[in-house]
């Protein structure tokens, strides 16, 4: 599974987490533990990859070599996957607070701390320009800003109903998004233009990431652990989920039980021209990482 699909999943979580929270359904400990295990494994793998790559960069990396593409892919994956980490952390903590539980928030915060540490390592690399051409550093910096804006928009959707702005990159920006969503909700009689939002998000990341994923297996396990927290009927017949993503959800959900056991055991999208008009700026009013 690619990081861009994790960004898609972040939008699905933002759209449907309120349903999970209002329903008050039980979230299995196995799903929470699977999320922790897969996330910790990915953090460890990122750390090992960056240490190994540091040795390569000392000898000089050839442009477009396999090593260079892996280097860039790891940096991109860390930046893009933070969108889902923050949005799901917000949802997990909202769940615990709503039901007076202490099941999900400790895991969410631990994973988020590790993600932030990985992000800081990427920013250090960008500042130093180690192993990157100037245009690559600029492209990664643009990806960072894009990921942050979308994170705050999606957290802002949850912040309409729950006090979770602390999980945004910029909490004040998330509050602005929450206010804008609330106004849209009032104007449109309780409806959101989620197909447009999701399509715009996908368009925003379509051309910004390496084709190959450095960690497709762990990304899929993280997604599966999140999806198994939701009742299957949440995704039935909903126009907010693009058709390709709905198929992906079905595929991952069918495999989720086996993935969790393994971990613990060892509405079609609108035209792109319309989607690009729904960008984060349009809404605005004004585990440890061993790297």
Q: Which residue has the higher pLDDT, 135 or 158?
A: 158
* Interval 46-72 mean pLDDT: 74
Residue extents of the structural domains in the chain: 3-282
pTM over 0.85: no
Instruction: Give residue-wise pLDDT tens across range 182-202.
Output: 888 788 765 666 777 777 888
Q: What string of DSSP letters covers the chain?
A: --HHHHHHHHHHHHHHHHHHHHHTPPPPHHHHHHHHHHHHHHHHHHHHHHHHHHHHHHH-PPTT-HHHHHHHHHHHHHHHHHHHHHHHHHHHHHHHHHHT--SSHHHHHHHHHHHHHHHHHHHHHHHHTTT--HHHHHHHHHHHHHHHHHHHHHHHHHHTTS--GGGSSSHHHHHHHHHHHHHHHHHTTS---HHHHHHHHHHHHTTSS-SS-S-HHHHHHHHHHHHTTS-GGGGTT-TTS-HHHHHHHHHHHHHHHHHHHHHHH---PPPHHHHTTS-HHHH--------
Instruction: Give residue-wise pLDDT tens across range 268-291.
Output: 333 433 433 444 554 443 355 565
């Amino acid at each position: 599974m690619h990081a861009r699909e994790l960004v898609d999943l972040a939008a699905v979580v933002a759209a449907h987490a309120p349903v999970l929270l209002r329903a008050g359904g039980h979230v299995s400990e196995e799903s929470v533990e699977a999320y922790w295990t897969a996330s910790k494994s990915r953090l460890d793998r990122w750390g090992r990859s960056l240490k190994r790559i540091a040795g390569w960069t000392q000898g000089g990396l050839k442009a477009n070599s396999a090593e260079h593409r892996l280097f860039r892919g790891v940096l991109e994956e860390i930046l893009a996957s933070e969108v889902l980490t923050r949005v799901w952390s917000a949802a997990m903590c909202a769940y615990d607070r709503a039901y007076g539980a202490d099941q999900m928030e400790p895991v969410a915060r631990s994973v988020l701390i590790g993600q932030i540490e990985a992000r800081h390592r990427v920013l250090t690399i960008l500042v130093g320009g180690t192993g990157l051409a100037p245009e690559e550093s600029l492209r990664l910096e643009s990806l960072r800003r894009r990921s942050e804006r979308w994170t705050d928009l999606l957290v802002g959707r949850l912040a309409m109903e729950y006090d979770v702005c602390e999980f945004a990159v910029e909490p004040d920006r998330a509050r602005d998004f929450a206010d804008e969503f609330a106004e849209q909700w009032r104007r449109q009689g309780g409806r959101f233009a989620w197909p447009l939002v999701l399509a715009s998000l996908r368009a925003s990341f379509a051309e910004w990431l390496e084709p190959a994923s450095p960690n497709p297996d762990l990304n899929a396990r993280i997604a599966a652990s999140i999806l198994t927290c939701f009742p299957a009927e949440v995704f039935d017949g909903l126009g907010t989920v693009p058709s390709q993503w709905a198929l992906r959800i079905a595929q991952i959900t069918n495999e989720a039980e086996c993935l969790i056991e393994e971990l613990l055991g060892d509405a079609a999208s609108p035209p792109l021209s319309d989607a690009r008009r729904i960008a984060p700026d349009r809404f605005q009013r004004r585990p440890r990482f061993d790297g």
